[in-house]
Amino acid sequence: MPKSKGYRNRTRSLLRKERGSRSIVSPDIYLQEYKVNDKVIILANPSVHKGLPHRRYHGKIGRIVEIRGRGYVVEIIEGNKIKKITTGPEHLKLFRG
């Protein structure tokens, strides 16, 4: 049988919540509003599959470029390239630093 190369392959420990933590996303995440040029950390929340960024961007710091509906476009520098990722607010956290 061929090896699976799915979107979430090899993410057993990366995309897992801690034991005993609640699986429901708290509503304050959806009430948090980000503005253009805010710096954010991409932290993939595995309990919400919609708008989930790829695992290679987990923990990266980026800048919000655009707001699309209820989602955000985040610009990340990956090596010497600029990448744009569209993700939901449940996968973002404001960077204070």
Domain positions in the chain are 34-94
Evaluate if residue 88 carries a pLDDT over 70.
Answer: yes
Give the per-residue pLDDT at 66: 96
Overall pTM surpassing 0.75 (yes/no): yes
- Hey, what CATH topology would domain 34-94 get? SH3 type barrels. (2.30.30)
Contacts of 49 (CB under 8 A, 6+ apart): none
Residue type, 60: K
Give 74's Cβ-side CA count (13 Å radius).
Answer: 32
Strand ranges (E), the chain: 39-42, 61-68, 71-78, 81-87, 92-94
Contact between residue 43 and residue 59 where contact means Cβ atoms under 8 Å apart: yes
Give the per-residue pLDDT at 46: 86
Contact between residue 37 and residue 64 where contact means Cβ atoms under 8 Å apart: yes
Tell me: the pLDDT tens digits for 2-56? Answer: 888 888 888 888 788 888 776 677 888 888 899 999 999 999 988 888 888 998 9
Residue type, 48: V
